[in-house]
Structures are given as C-alpha cells and as structure tokens.
Amino acid sequence: MREKVSNIQPHQLIEKNPFLFRARAPVGASQFADRLIDAFLSSSEETRFGNILERIAVAICREAKGGWKSSTAGIDVEYDERGKRTIMQIKSGQNWGNASQRKKLAADFQTATRVLRQGGPIHIRCVEGVCYGPSGSTDRGTHIRLTGDAFWHDISGWDNTGRAVFALIEHHAGNGLTDVLESARAGLVEYLQRSGAATPSGLINWSRLYDIIMSPTAERPR
C-alpha cells in the first residue's frame, strides 16, 4: 500500500469521474485531493486486502487444522477433518462477483471434486468462506456458504478467531502511510493550481477541471 501511494501521479487521479465529485461539491482543493486519493486507492484496495485476509485464513487453518494452500484450480484451502475433505474458496465480503463469476465458483467446486475423487473414494465438503458479514451458514446446492464468525470458526475451531484477526489488523492500522498521503495530497493540490483547476487560495475552478478531464485537446500538466 505504501508503495502504491508513493507512486501516485496527479494526472492519474484527475481522470476520475468528474460528475460524481461535482455532486459531492468539496469546498476546496485539499478536500478534493483527499477524495480523489481515496477513490484511487479504494478501486483496488478491496481486492488486495481480500488477498491478505485469504493468506491469514490459510495460515490459521494450517496451524489449527493442518490445512494447506490448495494446488487445485479455483480452490484456496483444503483440510481433512472427521473423515471429510473440506475444499474452500475464500471471499472477503458477501457481495463479490457477478452472476457468471458465481456460476464459475460452483463449476470450480464440481471440477475440483471430480479431480480429487480420481484418486479414490473421498467425502468432499465444498465451502464458500466469507470473511465478514452476519454469521451464518447457507446451503447453495453445489456448496455451503459460511459467513463471518461461522467462517472463522470453521477454519480454526475457535469461536473468537474473527475478533482476534480484527484486533490484529486494528493494531497495525495505518502502516505508516501518513507521510506519503500528505505528499500525495500536496502534489495533487499543486497540480490543480498549476493546471488552473484550482485558485491559489485553494478553491476549485470547476469549469477548468471539466475541460481537463473531458477535452481530448486540453493540456494535462504532469
């Protein structure tokens, strides 16, 4: 994350949706810069942080239940327990993917089950594990979906695993980003003023900003 923030270029930020930011009507260049930076980071942050949660979950499962990172396509983690092989895809939140991606998840479970059974009879349990959301279990036909604390309990056997992971992340919140965020904000404000999209006093010139974003011939300082 730190590297991503430090490598932000002002011209990348200015290409965000002008209609959305006009509707929000930030009062000055600094506030506008903060919102642009947030939008730039959030566009990929969920996916990248979801990958971090997946790695944490696999590590917990490995320590608690002898689980392992799966080598089967489309499966994140596997573990054996009480005569069953659990194969799991891990998602950070409930509202991931579109209809075709969800169909692919079901197809991945079916393919993985078929491949694993080529080695002999085995009882396979297919799970879509969701890291956050109201705790619960839902039968999806091709697999079960475990959400929130039900997921964390399943991979660890401990009721408070999700809360412990949450506390661990809280302990490391920020990751020393304050200085690079300040630098990114200052660079963007300077860009806005240099391009005429903000006045020296820090007010947004919306007409000029529109021209920079929307016109193919407009000068885009870098």
Domain assignment of residue 90, yes or no: yes
Domain assignment of residue 141, yes or no: yes
Residue-range definition of the domain harbouring residue 200 = 2-44+177-214
Question: Among 58-62, 104-108, 171-175, 204-208, which is the least confidently predicted range?
Answer: 171-175
Q: What contacts 24+ positions apart, CB below 8 Å, involve 132-141? A: 132/92, 132/93, 132/94, 132/162, 133/93, 133/94, 140/106, 141/106
DSSP state of 120: S
Same domain, 65 and 20: no
Share of the chain above pLDDT 70, in %: 73
Domain assignment of residue 219, yes or no: no
| Helical segments of 66-160, H only | 99-116, 149-156
Distances (CA, A) of 120 to 117, 123, 143, 165, 210: 5, 10, 21, 37, 64
Same domain, 22 and 85: no
Work out the end-to-end distance of the chain between its first and last CA atoms, rounded to an integer number of angstroms.
Answer: 22
Cβ neighbours around 93 below 10 Å, total: 14
CA atoms of 215 and 18, how far apart (whole Å): 12
Q: Which domain-ending residue is among 171, 189, 206?
A: 171
Same domain, 67 and 119: yes
List, for residues 185-216, the tens digit of each pLDDT value: 787 788 888 888 888 888 888 888 878 777 65
Same domain, 78 and 35: no
User: In 59-202, where do the E strands start and end?
Assistant: 68-69, 77-81, 84-91, 124-130, 136-139, 144-147
Is residue 68 a contact partner of residue 59, using CB atoms and an 8 Å limit?
Answer: no
Same domain, 17 and 70: no
Provide the mean pLDDT of the chain: 81
Domain assignment of residue 220, yes or no: no
Q: Which domain-ending residue is among 138, 154, 171?
A: 171
Domain assignment of residue 75, yes or no: yes
Domain assignment of residue 89, yes or no: yes
Planar angle of CA 52, 37, 208, nearest 5 degrees: 155
Residues making up the chain, counted from first to last: 222
Same domain, 92 and 187: no
Angle between helices 29-65 and 178-195 (to 10 degrees): 150
Domain assignment of residue 58, yes or no: yes
Domain assignment of residue 198, yes or no: yes
Same domain, 76 and 128: yes
Is residue 205 a contact partner of residue 45, using CB atoms and an 8 Å limit?
Answer: no
Question: Among 53-62, 90-99, 153-162, which is the least confidently predicted range?
Answer: 90-99
Determine the pLDDT at residue 218.
46
Same domain, 110 and 197: no
Same domain, 83 and 39: no
Q: How many domains does the chain have?
A: 2
Determine the pLDDT at residue 121.
87
Please name the residues in contact with 86: beta carbons below 8 A apart, sequence gap of 6 or more. Answer: 78, 79, 80, 124, 125, 126, 127, 154
Same domain, 16 and 83: no
Q: What would the 3-class secondary structure string for 31-62 be?
A: HHHHHHHHHHHHHHHHHHHHHHHHHHHHHHHH
The CATH number assigned to the domain holding 90 equals 3.40.1350
Same domain, 10 and 118: no
**How sure is the predictor about 93, in pLDDT bands with cuts at 50, 70 and 90?**
confident
Same domain, 190 and 80: no
